[in-house]
Structure 1
Amino acid sequence: MTDDSVSARIDHAPLAGVIGMPVAHSRSPLLHGHWLRHYGLAGHYVPMPVMPQHLAEVLRILPRAGFAGVNVTIPHKEAVLALADAVTDRAALIGAANTLIFRPDGGIHADNTDGYGFIANLMQNAPHWRPDAGPAAVIGAGGAARAVVASLLDSGVTELRIANRTRLRADRIRAEFGTRVVVYDWVQAGHMLEDAATVVNATALGMDGKQALRVPLDALPDSALVTDLVYTPLMTPFLAQAQARGCQIVDGLGMLLHQAAPGFERWFGRRPEVDEETRQAVLA
């Protein structure tokens, strides 16, 4: 096969995928595969388990192998920033990237679309939500929480309360994101829900196989919008308790779907729609 024929095949069918360790659990191949079939686009999206010690080598090889880009998951989301040739402001602020775009010259462009996906999920499933309706409360201070904090502050939240089991990580977020962030001790996490308009679980607590999230909801107003980044199960105990109090709830699957759309558009040339058919394809 000549170099020209290889180039033509690559141009005809772009490649993308997800790298991490492990990646067998990832629903991204289901999602991107659905969009490729739905829009009749040529291309392939593949899961690729990559050990940390091989990350730099793999990222050098993938553009030469015809990949237009990849999604990045644990444990590589922070490490790829140091390997990228260009980093968006939001990825730099969050300190992690989940989307890489490979330029024609082999350069790597790193972005973080988690915050976009979070807000898009709220706007789609709670269209009357207003970021300025009152304080936001975020439980957790990891990479996903940083994306949520950045997006909430950028959307106009005037006060953002945060609690994390290791307070130091929450203190770092306040130091980096400014005085609109108020840190609560973990044992006082329930108190930060008082008069909150938006409440987010940005931890893995409540996920299948994980410990339950044990933040008391006694102070949670029934007017609050409550969302959980966990989507296995879709109805987490945290969401079920909030719904029982009369709160509007939004599950975490929509964030996964919406954060994937910008990368898909860059790699395969079409902006996909996130709709009920998309949800069902991923849940299947």
Structure 2
Amino acid sequence: MSIPFAHVIGDPIAQSKSPLIHSFWLEKLGISGRYKSRHVEADALRDYLSKYRDDGSWIGCNVTMPHKQSIIAEIDALDPVAEKLGAVNTVVRHENGVLKGFNTDASGFLEPLLPMLETEHLFRMARIIGTGGAARAVIATLADRGFTLVVAGRNPSKARALLDELAPRGEHHAIDIAHFAEPTDFPFDDRDRCFDLVVNASPLGMEGNPPLAFDWSHAPPGGIAYDIVTNPIETPFLKAAREGGHETINGFAMLIGQAAAAFEKFFGAPPPREHDQELQELLLK
């Protein structure tokens, strides 16, 4: 009997930690399966899917940049969340080679926030840096949870378009990313029973990219810093937040959360999350 296998595809792909995560869970559960990375350029995406669509051992793939939106035209069906977000990060092969797209980024991003959001708040605000594919999941997810959003990008009109598409209800704001770089003396009001979040959903701070210029005077005391960057895991953004007394959430939270949802779709079993600490230590090596 052939061994089921899945891939993570992207361009570039060498930096992906998904093979380590899925292989760790497969070993812990004693499941016979394989998960590897495949470098797939944009003009080879259709050929990749054609090659594996009829392979009964191939159970699907995770999708990273730059294919999360372009792959939609190449598959057969979309989960409602993926359809709403206009982005796919998980493709599952069903019977007869039917390919269905899902988005687990949204649930993965939200996972570490759920315990905090069980509390009723008078007001929730999120400052979101970035207007790319990852930001789409963050914007839609937080809007659904009652947040007022401020989305910052190099192109404010793109930020506005994302808000109009993904969060059409509510008094949300689009601004230039440079707004957050300089200190402010804004007098924040009483934040009792308020929830403030600052999310870096951009590549800024990632290895090989410039750091995110964010002055923490733009966030009230008690605001939480959430950075989806995973390389390095301790970004200058998070370091500055911690030094300012803010609670932080690093990129492993979303990385592991979105992978967990994909793993269950691929291999039919929930991953052993009781080993998360051991997994994070492996990811740091």
Once the two structures are overlaid, the 10-residue window that deviates more, 29-38 or 176-185, is 176-185
Equivalent residue, structure 1, for 2:69: 78
Equivalent residue, structure 2, for 1:4: none
After superposition, residues 26-175 of structure 1 pair within 5 angstroms as 26-65=16-55, 66-123=57-114, 127-129=115-117, 132=121, 133-157=123-147, 159-175=148-164
Q: Distance in 2 between matches of 1:95 and 1:18?
A: 19
8 Å Cα contact 1:34/1:281 also seen in 2:
no
Q: Distance in 1 between matches of 2:125 and 2:12?
A: 36
8 Å Cα contact 1:122/1:250 also seen in 2:
no
Q: Is 1:218 paired with 2:217?
A: yes
After TM superposition, give the deviation of residue 94 of structure 1 in Å. 1.8
Q: Distance in 1 between matches of 2:32 and 2:206?
A: 35
Q: Is 1:268 paired with 2:267?
A: yes
Equivalent residue, structure 2, for 1:17: 7
TM-score by length of 1: 0.89
After TM superposition, give the deviation of residue 147 of structure 1 in Å. 0.5
Q: Distance in 1 between matches of 2:187 and 2:87?
A: 28
Q: Distance in 2 between matches of 1:138 and 1:93?
A: 19
Q: Distance in 2 between matches of 1:269 and 1:187?
A: 45
8 Å Cα contact 1:193/1:219 also seen in 2:
no
* Deviation per residue, 1:182-240 (Å, 9 max, x gap): 21233323669966711101111111221011122213212111111112111111111
Give the aligned residue type for 2:83.
A
Q: Distance in 2 between matches of 1:131 and 1:17?
A: 40
Question: What is the RMSD of the two structures over their aligned residues, measured on CA atoms?
Answer: 2.0
8 Å Cα contact 2:157/2:174 also seen in 1:
no
C-alpha spacing 1:58/1:131, structure 2 compared with 1 (3 Å): farther
C-alpha spacing 1:230/1:131, structure 2 compared with 1 (3 Å): farther
After superposition, residues 225-240 of structure 1 pair within 5 angstroms as 225-240=224-239
* Matched residue SS, 1:203: coil
Equivalent residue, structure 1, for 2:207: 208
8 Å Cα contact 2:180/2:213 also seen in 1:
no
After TM superposition, give the deviation of residue 254 of structure 1 in Å. 1.3
Equivalent residue, structure 2, for 1:5: none
Q: Distance in 2 between matches of 1:212 and 1:174?
A: 25
* Matched residue SS, 1:100: strand
After TM superposition, give the deviation of residue 25 of structure 1 in Å. 1.2
Q: Structure 2: which 5+ runs fail to align?
A: none
Give the aligned residue type for 1:128.
M
Once the two structures are overlaid, the 10-residue window that deviates more, 102-111 or 85-94, is 85-94
* Deviation per residue, 1:45-101 (Å, 9 max, x gap): 011111211211211221322211100111211111111111122212222100000
Give the aligned residue type for 1:262.
A
8 Å Cα contact 1:207/1:230 also seen in 2:
yes
8 Å Cα contact 1:206/1:237 also seen in 2:
yes
8 Å Cα contact 2:264/2:270 also seen in 1:
yes
* Deviation per residue, 1:105-144 (Å, 9 max, x gap): 1011001111110011333xxx335584521111111110
The percentage of aligned residue pairs carrying the same residue is: 36
Q: Distance in 1 between matches of 2:127 and 2:174?
A: 10
8 Å Cα contact 1:16/1:67 also seen in 2:
yes
Q: Distance in 2 between matches of 1:165 and 1:131?
A: 34
Q: Distance in 2 between matches of 1:233 and 1:187?
A: 23
How many residue pairs are counted as aligned between the two chains?
270
